[in-house]
Amino acid sequence: MIDLAERTGVKIQISHLLFAGRKTWPSCDRALELIDQAKSRGIDIAFDIFPYHCANVTINGLMPEKFLKNPGKNFKSPLSRLLLSVQWNIGWKFLGMNMRDIQLMQGRHPELERYEGLFIPEIARRMNCSSGEAYIRIAEMSRGNAACLFYLNNGEESNDEVLMKVMKHPLCTFETDALITTGGKQNPATFGAFPAVIQRYHKDKEIFPLEEAIAKMTGKSAERIGIKDRGFLKAGCWADITLFDYNLIRDNTTVLNTSAKPSGIKYVFVNGCEVVREGTVIPGKKCGQILKCS
Tell me if the bond preceding 109 is cis, omega within 30° of 0.
no
The model's pTM is: 0.93
Sequential pLDDT tens for the chain (294 residues)? 999 999 999 999 999 999 999 999 999 999 999 999 999 999 999 999 999 999 999 999 988 888 999 998 999 999 999 999 889 989 999 999 999 999 999 999 999 999 999 999 999 999 999 999 999 999 999 999 999 999 999 999 999 999 999 999 999 999 999 888 888 999 999 999 999 999 999 999 999 999 999 999 999 999 999 998 999 999 999 999 999 999 999 999 999 999 999 999 999 999 999 999 999 999 999 999 998 887
Report whether 166 contacts 28 (CB < 8 A).
yes
Q: Give the largest Cα separation in the chain, rounded.
A: 64
Which residues, in sequence order, are CB contacts of 167 under 8 Å at separation 6+? Answer: 49, 51, 174, 197, 201, 207, 208
Question: Could you tell me which of 177, 181, 54 has the C-alpha nearest to residue 107?
Answer: 181
Q: Hey, is 47 helix, strand or coil?
A: strand
CB atoms inside a 10 Å sphere around CB 236: 7
Report whether 202 contacts 209 (CB < 8 A).
yes
H or E segment to which residue 208 belongs: none
Phi, psi of 51 (to 5 degrees): -85, 45
